[in-house]
Amino acid sequence: MRFISPSTLAFRRRRDEGEFNAAPPQADIEALSQTEADFLESMKKRISIKRINLWLDEQGGKERALVSSELVGDENSYIRFVYALLYGDSRKNFGYRIEEDEAAYSVKTAGYAVPDVRFRRGLCEP
């Protein structure tokens, strides 16, 4: 009980604000659950392997190797780039393989430091 003092939240909280340790209203819990469900659904749409493959195709990946400095232009493309890296490193069914030099450095693009790699069309090697 040494940690409780007159300056703790328990003593500073005014009575007319309501019971501070009461459970939140059901409406707040439902709204939070809906927000979480919407967020998860939007992330599924943004980051699936199929969508990341399609995004790389749209960036010109079918015709040539894609370099990281071309791919990252804003927050949305940065997130997609990170997932492309993750899928390229861990998934055998990802449509692109990652090529990097022995002395791969990072590059700064759109305010982000990203690895200097290339994505080339073709399934990842086991």
Q: Would you give per-residue pLDDT tens digits along the chain (126 residues)?
A: 455 555 555 545 555 455 556 666 777 788 888 888 888 887 777 688 888 999 999 999 999 999 988 999 998 899 899 999 999 888 888 899 999 877 667 788 888 888 889 999 986 554
Cα separation of 103 and 121, whole Å?
A: 22
Q: Which two tokens stand for residue 42?
A: 């939007």
Q: Is the pTM of this model over 0.75?
A: no
Cα separation of 86 and 61, whole Å?
A: 17
Residue of 66, 122, 59 whose CA lies nearest to 96: 122
Cα separation of 123 and 17, whole Å?
A: 59
